[in-house]
């Protein structure tokens, strides 16, 4: 099996663990390489994110490391996260579990798809989000005015500090902190969560991916779209954000841990 290892590079212990894991995987007969940034810190040869291929990408880090990896891969490869962060909703294994997992999955593994949202502004594709797209003003304490249109029909108009356009996977991330529901990742829908809306009647919406979803921004204040915390785009004063289901879902190795059991465990240990 061809495996690419990615490590967070701001912690020496994570890098040492990644180097040790590489040797363990090679002993099991796998062909192992490193992502370019990881390789540089380990004194090895590596491949850029954009050229990552093979059968599996193993990410040693937190959710941010996993999001960065998914965000920068041109072609999605199955990802397995080993948690070296705070919570790690996207990292199914703890460091001490990885060895046993690979030893018992020498012939392959089950892969599950996680939908991403494709975000376009005024007809220009800006990128795909695994967790969320965030529309927010760059001036603190200033509100934005939003319009939500479903199949061309006005569904909501509200003022808020910002708006999250989240996936079910992202429902346990920023959207949850903002008061949104936890959504089963097997459901395919767009989760809209207003940030500090002016009216209490402005509530989260879960909208089917089968529908056409557009969000208008009408403001005199500077605003930005942030995709998965990785890419930031300036928005015009009268921008229209089109939300679609991405043609390229993220691919994750299923480790056998039920989603809601994982959520319950991680939330109780925050």
Domain boundaries, the chain: 2-114+249-268, 117-245
Model pLDDT for residues 96-123, shown as the tens digit of each residue: 999 999 999 877 889 999 999 999 999 9
* 173 assigned to a ligand binding site: yes
Sign for the pseudo-dihedral over CA of 225, 204, 113, 4: positive
* 2 assigned to a ligand binding site: no
Whether 92 sits among the annotated catalytic residues: the reply is no
| CA gap 142, 131 in Å, rounded | 25
* 129 assigned to a ligand binding site: no
Calculate the alpha carbon distances from 89 to 42, 46, 112, 164, 260 in Å. 27, 27, 15, 18, 11
Q: Which one of the listed residues 13, 63, 138, 218 is annotated catalytic?
A: 63
CATH architecture of the domain covering 117-245: Sandwich (2.60)
Q: What is the pLDDT along the chain (270 residues), one digit of tens a residue?
A: 999 999 999 999 999 999 999 999 999 999 999 999 999 999 999 999 999 999 999 999 999 999 999 999 999 999 999 999 777 789 999 999 999 999 998 778 899 999 999 999 999 999 999 999 999 987 776 899 999 999 999 999 999 999 999 999 999 999 999 999 999 999 999 999 999 998 888 899 999 999 999 999 988 878 999 999 999 999 988 899 999 999 999 999 999 888 888 888 777 765
* 175 assigned to a ligand binding site: yes
* 159 assigned to a ligand binding site: yes
The CATH class, in words, for 2-114+249-268 is alpha beta
């Amino acid at each position: 099996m061809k495996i690419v290892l990615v490590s967070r590079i701001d912690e020496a212990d994570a890098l040492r663990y990644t180097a040790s894991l590489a040797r363990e995987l090679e002993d099991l007969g796998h062909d192992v390489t490193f992502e370019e940034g990881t390789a540089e810190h380990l004194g090895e040869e590596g491949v850029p994110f954009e050229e990552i291929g093979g059968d599996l990408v193993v990410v040693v880090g937190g959710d941010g490391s996993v999001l960065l990896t998914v965000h920068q891969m041109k072609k999605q490869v199955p990802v397995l996260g080993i948690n070296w962060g705070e919570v790690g909703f996207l990292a199914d294994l703890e460091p001490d579990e990885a060895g046993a997992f690979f030893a018992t999955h020498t012939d392959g593994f089950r892969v599950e798809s996680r939908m991403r949202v494709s975000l376009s502004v005024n007809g220009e594709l800006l990128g795909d989000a695994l967790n969320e797209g965030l529309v927010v003003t760059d001036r603190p304490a200033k509100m934005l005015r939003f319009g939500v249109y479903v199949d061309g029909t006005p569904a909501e108009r509200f003022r808020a500090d910002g708006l999250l356009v989240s996936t079910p996977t992202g429902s346990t991330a920023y959207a949850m902190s903002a008061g949104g529901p936890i959504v089963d990742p097997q459901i395919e829908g767009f989760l809209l969560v207003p940030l500090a809306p002016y009216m209490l009647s402005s509530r989260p919406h879960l909208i089917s991916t089968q529908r056409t979803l557009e969000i208008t921004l009408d403001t005199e204040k500077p605003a930005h779209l942030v995709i998965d915390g990785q890419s930031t785009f300036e928005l015009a004063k009268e921008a229209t954000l089109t939300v679609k289901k991405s043609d390229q879902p993220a691919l994750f190795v299923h480790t056998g841990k039920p989603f809601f059991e994982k959520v319950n465990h991680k939330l109780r240990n925050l």
